[in-house]
Amino acid sequence: MTLLFGIPLSVMLGQLLLGLINGAFYALLSLGLAIIFGLLRIINFAHGALYMLGAFAAWLGLNYLGVNYWVALLLSPLLVGAVGMAVERHLLRRIAGEDHLYGLLLTFGLALIVEGSFVKLFGVSGASYPMPELLKGGHNLGFMFLPSYRAWVVVAALLVCIATWYMIERTRLGSYLRAGTENPKLMQAFGINVPLLVTLTYGYGVALAAFAGVLAAPIYPVSPTMGANLLIVVFAVVVIGGMGSIMGAIVTGLAMGLIEGLTKVFYPQAASTVVFLVMVIVLLFRPAGLFGKEA
Amino acid sequence: MKVFKKTASAMLVSSLIAGTAQAQVSDDEIRIGYLADMSGTYRDLAGPGGLEALKMAVEDFGGSVDGKKIVVFNADDLNKPDVGANTVRQWVDERNVDMVTGLVATSVVLAASKVVEQADKLALISGAASSSITNEYCSPNHIHWTYDTYALANGTAKAVLAAGGKSWYLLTADYAFGHSMEADISKVVKEGGGSVLGSVRHPFPSNDFSSYVLQAQGSGAEVIALANAGADTVNALKTASQFGVTQAGQKLAGMVVFLNDIHAMGLDVTQGLMLTTGWYWDMNDETRAWSRRYFDRFGRMPTMAQAGVYSATTHYLNAVKATGSDATATVRAQMAATPVNDMFAKGGQIRTDGRMVHDMYLAQVKTPAESKGEWDLYKIVSTIPAQQAFRPLADSQCKLVTGKVAQN
The rounded percent of chain B whose pLDDT value lies above 90 is 71
Chosen for mutation from B172, B242, B263, B303 (greatest number of chain A CBs closer than 10 Å) is B242
DSSP state of B42: T
pLDDT digit string, tens, across residues B39-78: 888 889 999 999 999 999 999 999 999 999 999 999 999 8
In order of A44, A54, A62, A187, the CA distances from A82 in angstroms are 16, 12, 20, 25
A125 touches chain B (CB under 8 A): yes
Residues 181-200 of B with CB under 8 A from A: 200
Which residues lie across from B76 on neighbouring strands? B36
Q: Is the pLDDT of residue B229 over 80?
A: yes
Q: How far apart are the first and last CA of chain B?
A: 56
Distance (Å) from the C-alpha of residue B267 to the closest C-alpha of chain A?
Answer: 10
Q: Taking the mean position of all CA atoms in its chain, how far away is CA A96? A: 23
Residues B265, A128: C-beta atoms closer than 8 Å: yes
Closest CA to B310 of B328, B324, B289: B289
Within a 10 A sphere around the Cβ of A62, how many other Cβ atoms? 18
Distance (Å) from the C-alpha of residue B232 to the closest C-alpha of chain A?
Answer: 10
Picking from B39, B174, B211, the nearest residue to A264 by CB comes out as B211
CATH number assigned to the domain with residue range A8-285, chosen from the 4 options 2.10.25, 1.20.120, 1.10.3470, 2.60.120: 1.10.3470
Note the pLDDT of residue A283: 93
Picking from A19, A145, A273, the nearest residue to B244 by CB comes out as A145
In order of A138, A238, A289, B208, the CA distances from A278 in angstroms are 33, 12, 11, 19
Note the pLDDT of residue B406: 47
> How many CA atoms lie less than 13 Å away from B197 in the CB half-sphere?
16
A117 touches chain B (CB under 8 A): no
Contact (CB, 8 A) for A135 and A153: no
Note the pLDDT of residue B380: 95
Q: Which residues of A touch B43 (CB under 8 A)?
A: 119, 123-124
Q: Is the pLDDT of residue B87 over 60?
A: yes
Note the pLDDT of residue A158: 94
Q: Which residues of B touch A21 (CB under 8 A)?
A: 210
Distance CA A104, CA A192 (A): 28
pLDDT digit string, tens, across residues B6-15: 655 655 555 4
Q: Which residues of A touch B48 (CB under 8 A)?
A: none
- pLDDT band of residue B408 (cuts 50, 70, 90) is very low
Note the pLDDT of residue A187: 87
Distance (Å) from the C-alpha of residue B117 to the closest C-alpha of chain A?
Answer: 32
Domain ranges across chain A: 8-285
Residues B244, A147: C-beta atoms closer than 8 Å: yes
Q: Which residues of A touch B235 (CB under 8 A)?
A: 220-221
Note the pLDDT of residue B22: 40
Q: Which residues of A touch B172 (CB under 8 A)?
A: none
Picking from B214, B234, B264, the nearest residue to A14 by CB comes out as B214
A21 touches chain B (CB under 8 A): yes
What radius of gyration, in Å, describes the C-alpha atoms of chain B?
22
Contact (CB, 8 A) for B366 and B279: no
Q: Which residues of B touch A147 (CB under 8 A)?
A: 242-244
Residues A221, B212: C-beta atoms closer than 8 Å: no
Note the pLDDT of residue B12: 53
A229 touches chain B (CB under 8 A): yes
Contact (CB, 8 A) for B304 and B45: no
Q: Is the pLDDT of residue B258 over 50?
A: yes
Note the pLDDT of residue B353: 95
Note the pLDDT of residue B84: 96
Mean pLDDT of the B240-262 span = 88
Distance CA A25, CA A100 (A): 26
Residues B203, A268: C-beta atoms closer than 8 Å: yes
Q: In chain A, which residue's Cα lies nearest the Cα of B261?
A: A125
Picking from A18, A119, A230, the nearest residue to B211 by CB comes out as A18
Note the pLDDT of residue B405: 57
Residues B217, A145: C-beta atoms closer than 8 Å: yes
Closest CA to B143 of B100, B107, B111: B100
ipTM comes to: 0.84
Distance (Å) from the C-alpha of residue B236 to the closest C-alpha of chain A?
Answer: 10
Mind listing the pLDDT tens digit of every residue in chain A (295 residues)? Answer: 566 666 777 778 888 999 999 999 999 999 999 999 888 888 999 999 999 999 999 999 999 999 999 999 999 999 999 999 999 999 999 998 888 899 999 999 999 999 999 988 988 878 889 899 999 888 888 888 899 999 999 999 999 999 999 999 899 988 988 888 778 888 889 888 888 999 999 999 999 999 999 999 999 889 998 998 789 999 999 999 988 788 999 999 999 999 999 999 899 999 989 999 999 999 999 998 998 875 5
B261 touches chain A (CB under 8 A): yes
Distance CA B139, CA B119 (A): 12
* Backbone phi, psi, residue A148, to 5°: -55, -40
Note the pLDDT of residue A49: 97
Query: Which position has the higher pLDDT, B79 or B360?
Result: B360
Contact (CB, 8 A) for A262 and A15: yes
Residues A220, B238: C-beta atoms closer than 8 Å: yes
Interacting residues of B82 by C-beta distance below 8 A, sequence separation 6+: B111
B172 touches chain A (CB under 8 A): no
Distance (Å) from the C-alpha of residue B157 to the closest C-alpha of chain A?
Answer: 25
Interacting residues of A75 by C-beta distance below 8 A, sequence separation 6+: A57, A61, A67
Q: In chain B, which residue's Cα lies nearest the Cα of A23?
A: B208
Distance CA A290, CA A282 (A): 7
H-helix segments, A41-99:
47-60, 69-90
